[in-house]
Structure 1
Amino acid sequence: MTSPIRKIHFGIADRHQTFRLFDRHAQRPDRWQTDGAKLYAGEWFEIAQAEHDTMLEILPPLWMRGEMFAMREFLTGSITSVFYTLRINGVTRFFHAYCDLSDPRSAYELRDAIVERERRPVKAMTRAERIEHIWSATHDDYRGYASADFRPEHRGKRIVIVYGKPGTLFELLESLSDAQISEKLPVHLRHLPLPEAA
């Protein structure tokens, strides 16, 4: 099964955010027992030119093709970082994505998805993008994975701290209400509309 292509952070990630986003699933409880390929494949976010150029200089790339290059070191299995320099709406921008190189089309499909997503004239965030941004932006102390305190079918799913009455508690990330999502988003992202249905 192919992992969905998804934007995991809004805005241009700074150096600290970039390196944190490279391994945003580091806390998963089965990290050393299972292959995390499905978690990472298809994730992408925007980076600054400085971070793009740094990654190009670290090691010789595995390959370079036009506006993209792939890292020589693989994250897991056939998943590696691909970095893009893309001109979108007249502006040169830089992106990182995790591509599954067992599929020769992966890097191109990611590129096309990024361009399609970022060409939209009006800024908007889908519910899924809001959820992913919350997970990416939440400090490790305030997020985790459902344990034995949750029903068996929810164990291992992502959870985040929610503040309310009678106090703070962990809630399933996927089950957050619209109000909870709004509260957890940074102020500048809270009022972005949901995309209109096609």
Structure 2
Amino acid sequence: MAIDPTYLKIFQGVASHAFMHELLNLPVDASPEDRLSGACYAGRWFEIEQRSHDEMFEILPPLFMRPGMFAFRELKVGTVGFAFFEIKIEDRMRWFVGFCDFSDHNAPDAMRAAILFWETGDTTGMSRAQQLDAIWSRTHSAFRGIAGQLNPMAWLKEHRGKRSILVYVSGLGTVLKLLEDLTDAEIQEKLPHRRNP
């Protein structure tokens, strides 16, 4: 079953250094399996101060380092750890930390794209899968669900457990559709327009 949501901003605003540590250690209400694997943490992120970013960089040699990002060597749980980002948004440097599943080598880049999308609405560099994840994360829970969760017989067996979302279809009205089946036009309609600087 899909982890809900794929990306989640867990704090609005800029977390102080002390509050950053609280957020990094915040328990999550999830099954024991998801807590042990780290699946319930992967995809969570928030904004931090430059001081926090710089101090975390100095603590230990990083797990990896690339332009504008590095990963903390100590993992949270399983293969999930912390990636730190320095991103220029609207001509201003900002700093973020996200929980990434490092078993997926693309997770840090996907997290960076998700943060940039959330903060600006810019989908540049986002794959179709990342755009679908962003739509899923931004859609209110009343307008999305897991196929077959409430009524298994309403879905073909191969579609049960997949993410579904309400969309408006001309001539039919509002219908429930698998997220993966959204057309390019439906994706563009559901993605927010980029804000002007």
Matched residue, 1:143: none
User: Aligned ranges for residues 168-187 of structure 1 at < 5 Å?
Assistant: none
- The yes-or-no answer on 1:72 pairing with 2:79 is no
Matched residue, 2:105: 104
Matched residue, 2:58: 57
Unaligned runs of 5+ in 1: 129-195
Q: 1:91 to 1:35 in 2, by over 3 A?
A: same
Unaligned runs of 5+ in 2: 123-137, 141-188, 192-197
Code of the residue aligned with 1:45 in structure 2: it is F
Deviation at 1:92, TM superposition (A): 0.3
Matched residue, 2:20: 18
Code of the residue aligned with 1:81 in structure 2: it is F
- The yes-or-no answer on 1:7 pairing with 2:18 is no
Matched residue, 1:167: none
User: Aligned ranges for residues 36-51 of structure 1 at < 5 Å?
Assistant: 37-51=38-52
CA distance in 2, matches of 1:74, 1:80: 4
Deviation at 1:16, TM superposition (A): 1.8
**How many residues are paired up?**
128
TM-score (norm 2): 0.57
Code of the residue aligned with 1:25 in structure 2: it is P
Q: Secondary structure at the match of 2:94?
A: strand
Segments of 4+ moved more than 6 angstroms = 29-33
Deviations 1:89-115 (A, max 9, x none): 111000000000101110000000000
Q: Percentage identity across aligned positions?
A: 35
- The yes-or-no answer on 1:86 pairing with 2:87 is yes
CA distance in 2, matches of 1:5, 1:80: 15
Q: Retained in 2: the 8 A contact 1:12–1:48?
A: yes
